[in-house]
Amino acid sequence: MLDNQTFLITGIADENSLAMKTAEKILANNGKVVCTGLGVTPFHKNLSEKAESFLNKNYEDFENACKKVLGNDVYTAPLDVTLPESLSHFADDLKTKNIKLNGFLHAIAMDKTIRNKSVKPMLEVTAEEFNDTMNVSAFSLVTLCHSLLSNGVLQNGASIVSLSYIAAEKVSFFPYINMSIAKAALERLTIEMAYELGKKYGIRANAIRFSPYMGSKAGNATLKVEDVERANRISPLGNALPEDLAHEIVHLFRKETRITGEIRHVDGGFHIMG
Amino acid sequence: MLDNQTFLITGIADENSLAMKTAEKILANNGKVVCTGLGVTPFHKNLSEKAESFLNKNYEDFENACKKVLGNDVYTAPLDVTLPESLSHFADDLKTKNIKLNGFLHAIAMDKTIRNKSVKPMLEVTAEEFNDTMNVSAFSLVTLCHSLLSNGVLQNGASIVSLSYIAAEKVSFFPYINMSIAKAALERLTIEMAYELGKKYGIRANAIRFSPYMGSKAGNATLKVEDVERANRISPLGNALPEDLAHEIVHLFRKETRITGEIRHVDGGFHIMG
Amino acid sequence: MLDNQTFLITGIADENSLAMKTAEKILANNGKVVCTGLGVTPFHKNLSEKAESFLNKNYEDFENACKKVLGNDVYTAPLDVTLPESLSHFADDLKTKNIKLNGFLHAIAMDKTIRNKSVKPMLEVTAEEFNDTMNVSAFSLVTLCHSLLSNGVLQNGASIVSLSYIAAEKVSFFPYINMSIAKAALERLTIEMAYELGKKYGIRANAIRFSPYMGSKAGNATLKVEDVERANRISPLGNALPEDLAHEIVHLFRKETRITGEIRHVDGGFHIMG
Amino acid sequence: MLDNQTFLITGIADENSLAMKTAEKILANNGKVVCTGLGVTPFHKNLSEKAESFLNKNYEDFENACKKVLGNDVYTAPLDVTLPESLSHFADDLKTKNIKLNGFLHAIAMDKTIRNKSVKPMLEVTAEEFNDTMNVSAFSLVTLCHSLLSNGVLQNGASIVSLSYIAAEKVSFFPYINMSIAKAALERLTIEMAYELGKKYGIRANAIRFSPYMGSKAGNATLKVEDVERANRISPLGNALPEDLAHEIVHLFRKETRITGEIRHVDGGFHIMG
């Protein structure tokens, strides 16, 4: 189904990341993947020892997981979407290696106002925290597009999928606040990309709102068991699973489907309840 | 992908019907189909000669198209969703033949206020015209579910897809008025089915809003070339094609995907433009 | 604020009806009202004794409440929106008395599938129950507009408000099912009227989704205390009050405000919670 | 109607600003206003001569317009919402003068990617341009709330209104791109404030999407005549006027109305067209 097609998968932290399930599904459909993880790049400056050690550990986990699950040949690279040099270095490298992308998954999010499953009220969020979360979690969609397009790596007709969730629109009972605003911006940016890149390159861009999921590192750091259970109870079909999400992403990645600008729900029907 | 699964396809008029493209795609994915068309049933009473001849011609076209495109063995039957006896007779027949359904496509719509590409203003629509359109185009989703469930024909975990379009929400420039209200009701009924059948039987129900399409009998009777071209021009990817729609329906038909209550757009991005 | 303006208020059952609060607010703003209630009209045929007695009691309550709250001079009349003759008789009468309308409140709803605070699942609703609820609760918006316009009673620039609630869009926890579909249709019809009557007559049409309210006869017959309390607890400001609703309606009734086609929430913020 | 109530009006540039119309309407309803304009504050550092001169001219225009339209006694002050010291100095000053606020209008927006009625594609917007626009046009809602609440200036039960437009949701034909994303964030922040401040202080927060308007300095700098005319032609009632907007804001400012988290349209019905 995805023969001779290659997709960039961002946002893998370890084996249990949602993005990893998608990478697996792409391989299972005869596609290829390119994976980026958070790690030290030559473009980081003045990293504290602690930060460097954190990034190194993070990248090691990412790389090991990729090799284990996706095979030893999988292309992996460190990428920091907030550093223009890191982005253009990565795009250059793909170009040099003659790797063309037929699409990518944007699954990057970071919010320092969530700590140990507890989250700052919006009123206490600082401008720096707001901007950091916005840049990493939303604007990075644009910078990724920009660097991949200006290097000729992202192909005409490619398909972009970004990960969102219901809180982009509603005040959810589970603990995201500052991040919700970034997700609202991410969805609107996805729509803007659908328009701008659709007209020009036939590129598609869609977002998916997924059920709360604790299985991943990110989910486990933020969600509480009772919140996930509550969503499971409310949703007509219970919470959706990572494979449901992977299935939907692969569907949207398929060539020649005139679907774009959609904000879709893979959530067991949670969003219909009021 | 759809091995050992059978889907009911309603709304086929001839070879060019959108529903037919979906039926073909199901076969191409190793699924089976059961098709119903509008025709004379034993439950029609007091049909005028003209009406009977219209229905017979309609059914003949339907049956010939099914055999030609889907093969001689395809199950076909006349069905009038506004006649409870016709519905229960059809469901009984499937039961007797031990045909279990894994889902169905609701693609039934009828509106007498549209004639020769011109449409009555809402203010002039009569109660009878309103009710007829509502019953055939919206409430039939419920009566179909009811009859197929009470006869044990629709399986747990089945998937229902109904066809809608942007006018269910917005005032569209192409000529549907009375029908728009029925589509709004159809979408809300789809959501209600997602809830009611989801909780009880794990059945999923989703609606798809498709681009304006003139290729079919229905589209050709209602749409004007300039309207379809306008939608094509506005949409970032141009109008979506019947195969895009079929692709999406087959995707939603697949087993074990926790997606329900969605109102999706397969429209080249038309819906993002404001 | 509403000097020299007259508004038709439908849906008053007794002193506690939401529509009555609106009528009072209009008077308090120097406007005038015309009220219709459900009662026997010369156009009812073959009424059973029981039905006639029910309608008579209903109309007596309505009329007494109107006189008590709105004064002895208030115009009252029986109206059955499902009988074209009743509608045109009513419009004729206004014309004869030279009463011009600057707008009206559509607050008419009826659903026989709700009895003693319990409600039929959608799957068990009959075509007759579906149609009856649709006609009375949704299509009546069109028939009212039609009769008032064709008699020259509804003025250019008039303002129409219809009453809806969140279940028009979402599956609500409080007991409305069949009615939800009618409200979805009512909202879409309101939008269609906004377009059709806006372009032609400068007439505005908006809908308001109000908090669950038990104070009225209708609310008390359908809602449970725990449901109203739940909405109150969830909503950031608690449930909205009848005077909040009346306030909003009077706002929308004011002349020369270019607001139309809106689906507004007067609900203490309930709709933002997901 | 607004007796003994005081509202902060931001976003006045000159006599023709939308915010000015609102200030006038508040006075006409017996309320009081406090106005802030962009100008040099003691907290600006390293301003270029050109920037200082621009700010001074801007503030002079603002102050003159306020005095002319709103009277010589109106409180005016320079405010830069991106400088925490400016915000807290302003809030302190109100506190010292014992001015309590019953609400405010957020009408602040700035986007350097729009120049001479032409606008950068999203793909070319830099992180700095994205962040600047976000901070000034969206996050400032939070910083304003924060400073006014922590100084006890914003009263319980106050009402906040923010100005948005259709492009927060859709790709509009008139030239806003980067700003659209900020407006999407502003709307989501308004909803978050509705929740957070509603629960805690009974404070309401709503956003209004207004028609494209060229009469103001901001509108004139960005919009083209043909775009405004197109919106006027499409909208069932034509474009809404500044007084329609002011009317709606004053309505939302009124005490004790349980309306919050709403995204409302004052746009002549533009948003219903698809």
List the domain range (segments joined by +) for residue D266: 6-272
**pLDDT at residue B221 in the model:** 86
CA distance A147 to B135: 53
**Cβ separation of A127 and D195 shorter than 8 Å?**
no
Cα A18–chain centre separation: 9
Q: Are C68 and C123 in contact (CB under 8 A)?
A: no
Q: Locate A265 and state its tokens.
A: 């729900």
Q: Which residues of A touch chain B, with CB atoms under 8 Å apart?
A: 191, 194-195, 198-199, 202, 204, 211, 235-241, 244, 247-248, 251, 254, 256-262, 264-269, 271-273
Q: Residue A269: left if φ>0, alpha if ψ -120 to 50, beta else—which one? A: left
Q: Locate D154 and state its tokens.
A: 């914003």
Q: Which residue of C has its CA nearest to D251?
A: C251
Q: How far is C129 from chain B (nearest CA, A)?
A: 11
**Cβ separation of A171 and C271 shorter than 8 Å?**
no
pLDDT digits (tens, 9 = 90+) for C99-113: 999 999 999 999 999
CA distance C194 to D226: 24
Phi then psi for residue B3, to 5 deg, are -55, 140
CA distance C135 to C123: 19
Q: Are C39 and C58 in contact (CB under 8 A)?
A: yes
CA atoms within 13 A on the CB side of B66: 27
Q: How far is A167 from chain C (nearest CA, A)?
A: 7
Q: How far is C205 from chain B (nearest CA, A)?
A: 14
Residues with pLDDT less than 70, chain B: none
A1 domain-assigned: no
C214 domain-assigned: yes
B1 domain-assigned: no
Residue C2, pLDDT above cutoff 90: yes
Q: How far is B170 from chain D (nearest CA, A)?
A: 5
**Cβ separation of C258 and D240 shorter than 8 Å?**
yes
Mutate to test the interface with D, among C188, C272, C273 (most CBs of D within 10 A): C272
C1 domain-assigned: no
**pLDDT at residue A11 in the model:** 96
DSSP B268: T
Bridge-based pairing state of the strands A118-119 and A114-115: antiparallel
| Selection from B238, B43, B239 nearest residue B147 by Cα | B43
Q: Locate C27 and state its tokens.
A: 């008077």
**Cβ separation of C237 and D247 shorter than 8 Å?**
no
Q: How far is A93 from chain C (nearest CA, A)?
A: 43
* Chain D adjacent subunits, 3+ CB pairs under 8 A: A, B, C
* Chain C adjacent subunits, 3+ CB pairs under 8 A: A, B, D
E strand or H helix that includes residue C6: strand C6-9
**Cβ separation of D192 and A168 shorter than 8 Å?**
no
C264 domain-assigned: yes
**Cβ separation of C272 and A170 shorter than 8 Å?**
yes
Report ipTM (2 d.p.). Answer: 0.97
**Cβ separation of C237 and D264 shorter than 8 Å?**
no
CA distance A133 to A129: 6
- What is chain D's mean pLDDT, rounded? 96
**pLDDT at residue B129 in the model:** 98
C158 domain-assigned: yes
**Cβ separation of A269 and B236 shorter than 8 Å?**
no
**Cβ separation of D188 and A177 shorter than 8 Å?**
no
**Cβ separation of C185 and B134 shorter than 8 Å?**
yes
Domain CATH number, residue D242: 3.40.50.720
Q: Are A34 and A98 in contact (CB under 8 A)?
A: no
Phi then psi for residue C133, to 5 deg, are -65, -40
CA distance C207 to B214: 34
CA distance C115 to B112: 35
Interior angle at CA C203, CA C199 and CA C207, nearest 5: 110
Q: Are C127 and B82 in contact (CB under 8 A)?
A: yes
| Selection from B71, B183, B83, B190 nearest residue B142 by Cα | B190
CA distance D70 to D20: 9
Sheet order of strands, B204-210 included: B75-78, B32-37, B6-9, B101-106, B154-164, B204-210, B263-266
E strand or H helix that includes residue D251: helix D242-253
Cα A228–chain centre separation: 20
Mutate to test the interface with B, among A187, A191, A199, A259 (most CBs of B within 10 A): A259
Q: How far is D1 from chain C (nearest CA, A)?
A: 12
**pLDDT at residue B144 in the model:** 98
* Chain D residues touching residue B271 (CB < 8 angstroms): 274
E strand or H helix that includes residue D87: helix D84-96
Q: Are B252 and B259 in contact (CB under 8 A)?
A: yes
Count how many domains chain D has.
1
Under the banding of pLDDT at 50, 70 and 90, the label for residue C143 is: very high
**Cβ separation of C240 and D247 shorter than 8 Å?**
no
**pLDDT at residue C200 in the model:** 96
* Chain D residues touching residue C266 (CB < 8 angstroms): 257-259
**pLDDT at residue C174 in the model:** 80
Q: Which of D121, D185, D197 sits opposite A184 (nearest CB)?
A: D185
Q: Locate B91 and state its tokens.
A: 């469901």
**pLDDT at residue A174 in the model:** 80
Residue C269, pLDDT above cutoff 90: yes
Query: Helices B18-28 and B242-253 meet at what angle, rounded to 10?
Result: 50
CA distance B148 to B162: 16
* Chain A adjacent subunits, 3+ CB pairs under 8 A: B, C, D
Contacts of A92 (CB under 8 A, 6+ apart): A151
Average pLDDT over residues D158-166: 97
CA distance C252 to C256: 10
Q: Which of D170, D173, D273 sits opposite B171 (nearest CB)?
A: D273
CA distance B22 to B24: 5
Under the banding of pLDDT at 50, 70 and 90, the label for residue D184 is: very high
Q: Show the beta-strand stretches assigned E in chain A.
A: 6-9, 32-37, 75-78, 101-106, 114-115, 118-119, 154-164, 204-210, 263-266
Q: Locate D114 and state its tokens.
A: 């729009």
Q: Which of B123, B185, B193 sits opposite C196 (nearest CB)?
A: B123
**pLDDT at residue C112 in the model:** 95
CA distance D109 to D11: 8
**Cβ separation of A274 and C272 shorter than 8 Å?**
no
3-class secondary structure, B153: coil
Residue D132's identity, in one-letter code, is D
Q: Which residue of A has its CA nearest to D169?
A: A188
Residues with pLDDT less than 70, chain A: none
* Chain B residues touching residue C144 (CB < 8 angstroms): none
Q: Which of D122, D130, D135 sits opposite A196 (nearest CB)?
A: D122
Q: Locate A89 and state its tokens.
A: 């270095």
* Chain D residues touching residue A124 (CB < 8 angstroms): 146
E strand or H helix that includes residue A253: helix A242-253
A242 domain-assigned: yes
pLDDT digits (tens, 9 = 90+) for C62-102: 999 999 999 999 999 999 999 999 999 999 999 999 999 99
CA distance C8 to C102: 8
CA distance B188 to B115: 27
Average pLDDT over residues D238-262: 96
DSSP B119: E
Phi then psi for residue C250, to 5 deg, are -60, -40
| Selection from B67, B43, B38, B79 nearest residue B55 by Cα | B38
* Chain A residues touching residue D169 (CB < 8 angstroms): 188
**Cβ separation of A238 and B254 shorter than 8 Å?**
no
E strand or H helix that includes residue C22: helix C18-28
**Cβ separation of D195 and A171 shorter than 8 Å?**
yes
* Chain A residues touching residue C165 (CB < 8 angstroms): none
CA distance A146 to D129: 15
Residue C50's identity, in one-letter code, is K
CA distance D4 to D21: 20
Residue D173, pLDDT above cutoff 90: no
Q: Are A144 and A103 in contact (CB under 8 A)?
A: no
3-class secondary structure, A156: strand
Q: How far is C230 from chain D (nearest CA, A)?
A: 15
Q: Locate A264 and state its tokens.
A: 């879709």
Q: Are A210 and A161 in contact (CB under 8 A)?
A: no
Q: Residue B266: left if φ>0, alpha if ψ -120 to 50, beta else—which one? A: beta
CA distance A255 to A204: 10
Burial class (CB in 10 A: 0-12, 13-18, 19+), B224: middle
3-class secondary structure, D148: helix
B33 domain-assigned: yes
Cα D66–chain centre separation: 16
Q: Any bridge partners for residue C208, and if so which?
A: C163, C264
DSSP B111: -
**Cβ separation of B142 and C149 shorter than 8 Å?**
no
Q: Are B213 and B219 in contact (CB under 8 A)?
A: yes
**pLDDT at residue B173 in the model:** 84
Q: Locate D186 and state its tokens.
A: 């502003």
Q: Which residue of D has its CA nearest to A176?
A: D192
First to last CA, chain D: 38
Q: Locate D230 and state its tokens.
A: 């197109």
